[in-house]
Amino acid sequence: MKEMDSRFLRPIIEQEILFASEAAAYLGITPQRLNQLVHTGKVKPVRTSPSGNLYLRSDMEERRKRMHGNQIAYISALFEKNEATTVYEAMNYFTIQSIFNGSDKKATAEFERLAEKFQLTEELSKSLRLIADDLGVELEVMEKAYTAVVGGFQQLGADDYIVKKGQNHYPNKLSEISDAPLFLFMRGNPELLTKRLVTVVGGRKTTENGEAMAYELSKELGQEGYVIVSGLSKGIDSVVQQATVNHQLPTVAVLGTPITHFHPREHQVLQGQLEDHGLVISQFPPSVKVQRWHFPMRYALMSGISEATVMIESTDKSEVLEQADYACKYRRPLLLPQVALDDRKLQWPNRYIDYGKMYAYRKPTDVLKRMEMLTTEDGTSARYAQQTIG
């Protein structure tokens, strides 16, 4: 009888009893925080001992639900500028995306499939078990992913925008691209995305002449009514953005991090200024862990929202060349400095010599003239390719 009881109880105990470290991991908190909850009576061990407490899984599950409910309450601040259905749909999408290790391609396909079975424009906690079963993952994995995403969305402010492809504020040019991000996160003035956008970029390693060109060109383009698009990296990006701030010109800063992050750290003040007089935009949710490969991805977004890309300077190995590559891929005009085309020590300009929408420039007024021509020609006249204006 005792042997039978033992065989019967053992699997139940193994399934339902958690050690302190397991309980902390289940709740997504540190062991120290778990001890605090025990001391305040918010969590009760099923057994206490000097060697460590034991906890019931069902108790931890109930505690996690209460913690999750408090998280959701904070999300309501986002409903001031965003539809609740969009907020919930974004959280649900990025939960699915995290299950597939950040892959947009896999997440989009699964999200569309799941949308036929589940209501993905509502709070997801009631459907987590069913969705986990459908995806073939453990419920604990699904719950952990959802809790992390909800926690990340809490970092967004009431004035932040979450925009889905096809909705108002989603850039028209970007929506024409098949692999465009499903959601964008914005802080600032999204109306700037309806203006004439021109990307101005260059490498992190700069020259004095390159910085002078970037500053003057950004100022003159902005004063002519164009909205400058650039990143927020060190080097030419920061020169471009500083020019718009100094002259109070609207600009769009595209980040390789969530809009809740600052990278590099020393650009925190500059990023805040851009939020005040322009727009900061990202395709990455606030819950995502920043990866090195995220930064090149922003070039696709910059090229996708812009009418043209102006390269200031670059080395042969700079990642900023991906911006030019995306301009070619999306059939956007690409303006290169004549000084780079003439420099036989540089190899990178040769990659774009045969691109039908590549144009050369020597000075800022050349770029302004070219943009005016592109307006009337729609950028399709090949006879201007590789030709310097003026």
Where b means 16+ CB within 10 Å and e means fewer, 35-44 reads eebbeeeebe
User: In this structure, which amino acid lies at residue 101?
Assistant: N
Across the range 297-302, mean pLDDT stands at 94
Task: Report the pLDDT value the prediction gives residue 381, as an integer from 0 to 100.
Answer: 36
Task: Work out whether strand 251-254 and strand 161-164 pair parallel, antiparallel, or are unpaired.
Answer: unpaired
- For residue 171, the number of C-alpha atoms closer than 13 Å in the C-beta half-sphere is 28
Decide if pLDDT at 178 tops 90.
no
Q: Which of 141, 132, 87 is nearest to 110 (CA)?
A: 132
Task: Report the pLDDT value the prediction gives residue 157, as an integer from 0 to 100.
Answer: 87
Task: Report the pLDDT value the prediction gives residue 227, as an integer from 0 to 100.
Answer: 97
What is the distance between the alpha carbons of residues 330 and 199, in angstroms, rounded to a whole number?
14
> Does a cis peptide bond (omega within 30 degrees of 0) precede residue 337?
no
Residue written as tokens 């053992």? 10
Decide if pLDDT at 387 tops 80.
no
Across the range 308-325, mean pLDDT stands at 96
Decide if pLDDT at 151 tops 80.
yes
Task: Report the pLDDT value the prediction gives residue 246, as an integer from 0 to 100.
Answer: 96
What is the distance between the alpha carbons of residues 171 and 195, in angstroms, rounded to a whole number?
10
96, 111 contact by CB (below 8 A): yes
145, 132 contact by CB (below 8 A): no
Which 3 state secondary structure label does DSSP give 4?
helix
Report the mean per-residue pLDDT for the chain: 88
| pLDDT (tens digit per residue) in 196-205 | 999 999 999 9
| pLDDT (tens digit per residue) in 80-110 | 899 999 999 999 999 999 999 999 999 999 9
User: Max Cα separation, the chain?
Assistant: 99
| pLDDT (tens digit per residue) in 200-243 | 999 999 999 999 999 999 999 999 999 999 999 999 999 999 99
Of 31-45, 46-60, 141-155, 223-237, the range with the highest mean pLDDT is: 223-237
Residue written as tokens 């991090």? 257
Q: Return the minimum-mean-pLDDT range out of 31-35, 213-217, 265-269, 287-291.
A: 31-35
Confidence of residue 141 (pLDDT cuts 50, 70, 90): very high
Take residue 142 and report the two structure tokens written for it: 């699904």
Decide if pLDDT at 288 tops 80.
yes
Task: Report the pLDDT value the prediction gives residue 8, as an integer from 0 to 100.
Answer: 57
Output the CA–CA distances (angstroms, integers) from residue 240 to 66, 186, 202, 222, 364, in the order listed: 47, 20, 9, 11, 13
216, 228 contact by CB (below 8 A): no
What is the distance between the alpha carbons of residues 47 and 76, in angstroms, rounded to a whole number?
38
Task: Report the pLDDT value the prediction gives residue 71, as an integer from 0 to 100.
Answer: 63
Decide if pLDDT at 379 tops 50.
no
Bridge partner list, 201:
311
Bigger pLDDT: 48 or 111?
111
Nearest 5°: the CA angle 71, 286, 163 is 100
Decide if pLDDT at 30 tops 80.
no
Burial class (CB in 10 A: 0-12, 13-18, 19+), 139: middle
What is the distance between the alpha carbons of residues 257 and 263, in angstroms, rounded to a whole number?
7
Confidence of residue 378 (pLDDT cuts 50, 70, 90): low
Task: Report the pLDDT value the prediction gives residue 218, as an integer from 0 to 100.
Answer: 98
Confidence of residue 388 (pLDDT cuts 50, 70, 90): very low
From the CB of residue 21, how many other CB atoms can be counted at a distance below 10 Å? 11
Where b means 16+ CB within 10 Å and e means fewer, 360-381 reads bbebbebbbebbebbeeeebee
Output the CA–CA distances (angstroms, integers) from residue 50 to 43, 57, 136, 315, in the order listed: 17, 21, 39, 62
Task: Work out whether strand 227-230 and strand 197-201 pair parallel, antiparallel, or are unpaired.
Answer: parallel
**How does DSSP classify residue 47?**
B
